[in-house]
Structure 1
Amino acid sequence: MSQIGKKIPEFKTMGYSPKKEEFIEITNKDFEGKWTVLMFYPADFTFVCPTELEDMQGQYAKLQELGVEVYSMSTDTHFVHKAWHDHSEAISKLEFTMLADPHKSITRDFDVLDEEPGLAQRATFIIDPDGIIQTVEINADGIGRDASQVYDKIRAAQFVRNNPGEVCPAKWKETGETLTPGLDLVGKI
């Protein structure tokens, strides 16, 4: 069942904030009023995951300029996140908060829990300031994500939100043309 257009579930969890160098509590209320990227990944101390999180860190400053906050989440504890941050060259670069879901309830509520191993799937959610899911991307375990695509999707989602009645075609960039759906376009694209 699609999650697009749905409100994110209520949750409360602990996370490790590399910026503050401390453990913090985060709830769904912390997502309100700003754009949010929630990036689920299978596990700390693995192989593809650090490359993805490091890649997201490479986009973090640009996303922050757009008013976007980024969170990563796995079914590890916040203690394991801190240990990984302290021992991995790639993860030590992170500035965004790493959320913990050891009870697997949040991962299950977002419908991205791979039940058999008890790990999160490789999923990225873009959530608007009202807590509504605008995009979801889920990849197979062995396929890493490209954070630059998240940046492009955020720009398009923000444009559509701020320009009712207009839509962004494929490969849209901020300076590109948009479309205004109507009878005059039917069969002409």
Structure 2
Amino acid sequence: MSLVGTSIKPFKTTAFVQGKFVDVSEADVAGKWAVFFFYPADFTFVCPTELEDLAAKYDELKGLGVEVYAVSTDTHFSHKAWHDSSPAIGKINYYMLGDPTGTITRNFDVMREGQGLADRGTFVVDPDGVIQIMETTCEGVGRNAEELVRKIKAAIYVREHPGQVCPAKWESGAETLAPSIDLVGKI
């Protein structure tokens, strides 16, 4: 079942961010764009490559008004230890949410029941707390932060320009479409 168009569910957890432990809840997400970036586990193999790639795009995302929340079922203590020991993870300045109870992971329907691990799920949430984009990949396939940024820019554009839609491979500044009966069969 798709979660696109649904509101995020309540949660409360502790995150590791910029050398500190902080409490985070759905209330902290309200009013801004957010990315929830689920990954299976700390101290693994594909995960640090994805998180490092996302870290390289974090300033650009912040400039768009987007906050990033990486989530695994590890604790905030594990996130700190990984951040302190891994050169790739040490580059992260965004929130790393601990979810040892699996509440957030289940809220977004990416829990591997019986394993206690999250699937590789990416969710873009608008300022109203509504999921606008979701993607889930299998264990061995890493995600591309550049493509995520492109999709977020498109989602922001569509929100700010009612009646407009972004075609495939749309980039900022490119032509958009205004769906109408006149376009039917002409694309």
SS in 2 for 1:166: coil
Aligned to 2:7: 7
Structure 2 distance, partners of 1:65, 1:57, is 13
TM-score by structure 2 length? 0.99
Given the alignment, which residue of 168, 172, 175 partners 1:174?
A: 172
Structure 1 distance, partners of 2:114, 2:151, is 31
**Equivalences for residues 28-47 of structure 1 within 5 A:** 28-47=26-45
State the 4+ residue runs in structure 1 displaced beyond 6 angstroms: none
Structure 1 distance, partners of 2:59, 2:20, is 21
Code of the residue aligned with 1:29 in structure 2: it is A
Give the number of aligned pairs. 187
Code of the residue aligned with 1:54 in structure 2: it is E
SS in 2 for 1:16: strand
Q: How far did 1:116 drift?
A: 2.4
Deviations 1:41-75 (CA, angstroms, capped at 9, x unpaired): 00000000000000000100111110111110000
SS in 2 for 1:57: helix
Alpha-carbon RMSD across the aligned residues, in angstroms, is 0.6
Structure 2 alignment gaps of length 5 or more: none
Structure 1 alignment gaps of length 5 or more: none
SS in 2 for 1:180: coil
Given the alignment, which residue of 10, 14, 26 partners 2:24?
A: 26
Structure 2 distance, partners of 1:87, 1:158, is 36
Given the alignment, which residue of 143, 152, 155 partners 1:154?
A: 152
Aligned to 2:105: 107
What is the percent sequence identity of the aligned residues? 56
Aligned to 1:120: 118
TM-score by structure 1 length? 0.98
Code of the residue aligned with 1:124 in structure 2: it is T
1:78 aligns with 2:87: no
Code of the residue aligned with 1:55 in structure 2: it is D
Structure 1 distance, partners of 2:8, 2:107, is 9
Code of the residue aligned with 1:70 in structure 2: it is V
